[in-house]
Amino acid sequence: MPKPIFVLNGPNLNRLGLREPAVYGAETLSDIEKRCSARAHTLGLEVVFRQTNHEGELVDWIHEASEVAAAIIVNAGAYTHTSLAIHDAFRAVEPPVIEVHLSNIHAREAVRHHSYIAPVALGVICGFGATGYELALEAIHKHLTDGS
């Protein structure tokens, strides 16, 4: 059985659908998980989908992914802009990483323009709402299949 793709979500993403729908959309994280599972299935992939509001737990999952995952898709939420610990965790693991954001972080407040994850990621997808997760799955599939 092939290794799964870890889809890791950071703080406040459990509030999707309720929290600032004009910015983040009306879909819940459960809706996004269903979309990811369906898209992964069509690509012949399996996903492990998780969310936490705790930085250390996210770091632990990144470490776990190093042992059992083919790749990581991450929406670290605000930790993207603040966490050197998450940056270091990604530097210490082998699976390729794609960073995802629902909103276009570059069109928002200046503090959101910097990412500690981007320098250690294969790529960044932002501004496409929940579709960004599906785009990340397609990109990971292509990368794992043909290295691009």
3-class secondary structure, 47: strand
pLDDT tens per residue across span 1-46: 689 999 999 999 999 887 777 777 778 999 999 999 999 999 999 9
Six-digit token string for 36: 């990811």
Tell me whether strands 71-75 and 97-101 are parallel, antiparallel or unpaired.
Answer: parallel
pLDDT tens per residue across span 48-61: 999 999 999 999 99
pLDDT band at 147 (very low <50, low <70, confident <90, very high): confident
Distance CA 44, CA 7 (A): 16
Cβ contact 74:95 at 8 Å: no
Cβ contact 62:93 at 8 Å: yes
Distance CA 35, CA 2 (A): 20
Cβ contact 65:59 at 8 Å: no
Domain that holds residue 123: 5-146
Name residue 58's amino acid: L
Active-site residue (options: 101, 116, 133, 141): 101
pLDDT at 111: 78
Sequence-ordered alpha helix ranges (H) in the chain:
21-24, 29-43, 55-68, 84-91, 131-146
Q: Over range 102-120, report the average pLDDT.
A: 87
Residue 69, phi-psi category: left (phi > 0), alpha (psi -120 to 50), beta (remainder) = beta
pLDDT at 1: 64
- Is 24 among the residues known to form the active site? yes
pLDDT above 90 coverage of the chain, percent = 81
Distance CA 77, CA 112 (A): 10
CATH number for the domain that contains residue 37? 3.40.50.9100
- Is 101 among the residues known to form the active site? yes
Count of domains for the chain: 1
